[in-house]
Amino acid sequence: MAFKALLFDVFGTVVDWRGSIIAEGEIFGQSRGLDMDWAAFADAWRAKYQPAMRRVREGERGWVKLDDLHRENLLELLEEFSITGLTEDEIDHWNRVWHRLDPWPDTVAGLTRLKSKFVLATLSNGNVALLVNMAKRAGLPWDAVLGAEVAGYYKPEREAYLKTAEFLGLTPGECLMVAAHNNDLMAAAGCGLGTAFVCRPGEYGPAQTTDRSAENEYNFVATDFKDLAIQLGC
């Protein structure tokens, strides 16, 4: 084992998308006098994520970056939740809540330690602008912002993993995929990458039933990024 780069899933692994959307929703709701279940709103938005990417993966449509998929899904969602009267700018601002997600409490300290020894890159389905703006706001110290948009393929397609390693000039085996999702890690392992499961049992809220534990053999299983840093000798 001689890993040179750590490749990170971002939504759920690095940042708390659900808590962040709920928090912005509540502030927005108060300003509009809306009484809404923002957790349901966040979950419904996320539920449209995989089906939207699937249409791209399966070639039903050409490449569409995640910001645009998020916006298409948001338009449906606003209708489903009967939220009306937003201007185009307000819709754009809401859509960019994905650029303003907050990190988990251990994220920045953990990444900072890991950066001392490894190249840290994103391997996310988020597009570059989304990830760059998020990193700037949250202080995420990436060495490189890579992933689906740069590769031209959404995870879990093999090219997303393989091209990211290739951009870094590394073999798949020199890369360690870090994710809170078993399916992402299994896809990475299938491409020859190393795997680190980081447990994020609160990602989907208190009722989360999936990804509560490592369901396969991985190179590392960690409780958070600081634990991962310790296990990797950082």
Which residue ranges make up the site for a copy of itself (CB under 8 A)?
Answer: 67, 119, 121, 127-130, 132-133, 135-136, 143-146, 149-150, 167-170
The nearer residue to a copy of itself, 20 or 127, going by C-beta atoms, is 127
CB of 113 to a copy of itself, least distance (A): 15
The nearer residue to a copy of itself, 143 or 159, going by C-beta atoms, is 143
DSSP state of 82: T
DSSP state of 59: T
DSSP state of 15: B
What distances in angstroms separate CA 61 from CA 6, 51, 58, 170, 213, one per listed residue? 31, 12, 8, 31, 35
The nearer residue to a copy of itself, 170 or 187, going by C-beta atoms, is 170
The nearer residue to a copy of itself, 49 or 167, going by C-beta atoms, is 167
CB of 204 to a copy of itself, least distance (A): 28
CB of 79 to a copy of itself, least distance (A): 25
CB of 178 to a copy of itself, least distance (A): 17
Q: What is the DSSP string of 112-135?
A: HHHHTTSEEEEEESS-HHHHHHHH
- Residues 155, 230, 166, 136, Cα dihedral to 10°: 70
